[in-house]
Amino acid sequence: MKRIANIILALGLIMMISSSCSCNDEQDDKTDDNGIICFNTSNIVNNDFGGLGVEWGTYEDTKKIVPDAWTRITNAVDYLKPSIVRCMFNLDWICYDLDKKGTTDKNDDTWKYDFTSVHMEDCCDVLEYCQNNDIIVAFGFWNVIGNADTSVDTWGMIQDCSSDIRWAKMTADVLDYLVNIKGFTCIKYFVNTNEPNYTGNVGSSKMAYNTYAKWEQGVRQVRTKIDSIGLNNIDIVGGDTTGFGKVALDYLKNISINLKSILNNYGCHFYISNIDISKRNFYSYLSQLYKGIKENDKNVVNKKFYIWEAGLYDGKDAATDCNLYIQNYNYGYRMADYTLQAIQAGLDGVCYWDLDDGMHYMYNATGTTPKEWGMFSTYTGATIKDQEYRPWYYSSVMLTNILKRHNTMYFDSKHTTLTCIGTTTQDKSNGAIVIVNHNQSKITAKVCLQETVTNNEKTYVYIYKEGELLLDTNGKILPNYEYNTSINSIYELEIPTGAVVILSSNKIGE
C-alpha cells in the first residue's frame, strides 16, 4: 500500500503526498488516469527547450539613467539567469560620412562607422555579459538608417528598406566587428528589422514603404554577405513579426515556403489580452500557427520557434507606450500563464518585454518619457517605487530559473482547467511542475512528475501571489514550504485563484 501523508498548508492549499506516481506511461486519452495531471515520456512537447529571457538592448540615452545603473542592471540579470536575450541597436548611432561618389549606384557608396560611440560601448557591455554567462543573443537593428521624412533624408534607404544593398553590407560590417573582432559568439541570431509587418505612416515611420518582398530580398542579401565573412553559424530570425493579423501570418507563411532552406528558426512578437490568456485562446492561436507553418515546412520540428517580444496588451497607454498594469501582481501571474501556454503549444522560448524602463523612450512634442514596461527602472526621474523590482520580476525569476535551456517539457493535454507543465533538466538531475490558476475560484488537482530525476530527496514549493511571495532580507525568493519527499510523488493541491505554484526538486537560484 502506498504511503500517503496529508499536509494542510496556509491559504487552504491542501497537499497529499504519495511515495510513488501511478500514472501509466502508455496512457492515451481513453485511459483512466485517476484524475492525475501526469508528466512522462508519453506527453513530451519539447525535448530541447530554447529557454526564457528578456529584451535587454542598447540604452537610447545613458545620460537619462542613474549613476549606479549598470550595477543594478547586472544584479537583476544575475538573479534572473536568462537563457536568451534580444539586444537591438540603431545604425544611426554609428554610421556617418556618407559619400555617394557622384553616382546613383548604391554599390559605389561608402560611409564610416564610429565603433567607439557611447551606444556601441553600451551594446558591447551587454554582449560581454551575455558572452560570459552563456546567454544566447538575438542581435539586430530596429530599422533602416536615415530620416523617415524622405524630403530631408540623405541616405535614401527608406523606400527600399532592408532590400537596399547597403543594408546587407552594414549588417555584415557590424557583425564582423562584434563577432569576428570582439569575439561575441553569443550572437546566434540576427534580427532583419523589428516587426517588418508593422509599416506605420509615411513620413513618420522608417518602415512605411516596406513589403514582404523587400524584407525577403533583404534576408537573402544579408545571408550572402554574412556567409562571405564566415558567419554562416548566425541564423536570421524568421519573421520577428508582431501579432496574429493577416499580414503577419502571410509573412510567416511566405517564410515557411520561400525561406525554409535559408532560415532555421521562426520568431514572432505577441502582446496578448487578459481574456485570451484566461480562456486559453493564446494556446489555440499558437497551435494553429504552428500547424500552418508545419504544412509548408515539415522540418519546423527541428527548428527553433521563439517569441522575441512577449507582453500583455491590457493596460497599454498608446500615447506613452507604457503599460499601467506592470505594478500589479496579476501582470506576473498572467505572464506566467502566457509562458506556459506557449510551451504547451510547442514553442521553444519566450523573451519578455522588457528588462528596464530606462532603455527606451517615447519622443513627442511635450517631451521625452520612458516606456514603462520593465521589471524595474533605472530612469533618473523614476519614483522610488518604480526603481524597485516589480512583482513580475519575481514571477519571471521563478520561471527562468526553473525552465532552463535544454530542458525537456511535458504537457498533459487531457487536463487544461489549470495551465501547467512538467520539466526535467537535460541530465535528469532535477525536475519541476509549474501550475497557474487563471480560474475565478480555487482549483484542486493532483499532479505528478513521473519522469524520474536523481535529485529526489526534497521538494520545494513556491507560491507567487500577492501576500504569499516570500523574500529574504536580500530580496531572494524563499520556498513557502519544504518537504523531505521526492518530486516524483503524487501531490494534491488546492491552487488559489490568480496564483503561480511551483514544485521543484531544487531551490530557485541554485
Q: What does the pLDDT average to over 327-340?
A: 98
Rounded Cα distance between 296 and 293, Å, is: 6
User: Of the given ranges (32-46, 63-77, 172-186), which has the lowest mean pLDDT?
Assistant: 32-46
In Å, what is the CA distance from 18 to each residue of 180, 454, 502?
Answer: 55, 18, 18
Q: Which residues contact 89 (CB under 8 A, 6 or more apart)?
A: 57, 58, 119, 123, 139, 140, 141, 142, 174
What's the burial of 351, exposed, middle or buried (CB within 10 Å: 0-12/13-18/19+)?
buried
Paired with 265 in beta bridges are: 304
> 279: closest CA among 416, 466, 413?
416
28 pLDDT exceeds 50?
Answer: no
Burial 46-64 (b: 16+ CB within 10 A, else e): beebbbbbbbbbbbbeeeb
- SS3 annotation, 205-271: CCCCCCCHHHHHHHHHHHHHHHHHCCCCCCEECCEEEECCCHHHHHHHHHHHHHCCCCCCEEEEEEE
The pLDDT value given to residue 368:
87
Residue-wise pLDDT for 144-170, tens only, equals 999 999 999 999 999 999 999 999 999
- Say which residue the cell 560601448 belongs to: 121
Rounded Cα distance between 110 and 95, Å, is: 10
pLDDT bin (cut points 50, 70, 90) of residue 366 is: confident
The pLDDT value given to residue 33:
62
Rounded Cα distance between 216 and 168, Å, is: 12
Rounded Cα distance between 502 and 449, Å, is: 12
Rounded Cα distance between 354 and 374, Å, is: 5
The pLDDT value given to residue 23:
66
Q: Per the structure block, which three cell numbers stand in for 322?
A: 507604457
Alpha helix segments (H runs only) across 101-245: 118-132, 165-175, 212-228
Q: Per the structure block, which three cell numbers stand in for 277?
A: 490568456
Report the side by side order of strands in the sheet with 4-8: 4-8, 14-18, 490-495, 443-449, 36-39
30 pLDDT exceeds 90?
Answer: no
14 pLDDT exceeds 80?
Answer: no
pLDDT bin (cut points 50, 70, 90) of residue 24 is: low
Task: Please give the single-letter amino acid code of residue 462.
Answer: Y
The pLDDT value given to residue 386:
95
The pLDDT value given to residue 29:
39
Residue-wise pLDDT for 88-136, tens only, equals 999 999 999 999 999 999 999 999 999 999 999 999 999 999 999 999 9
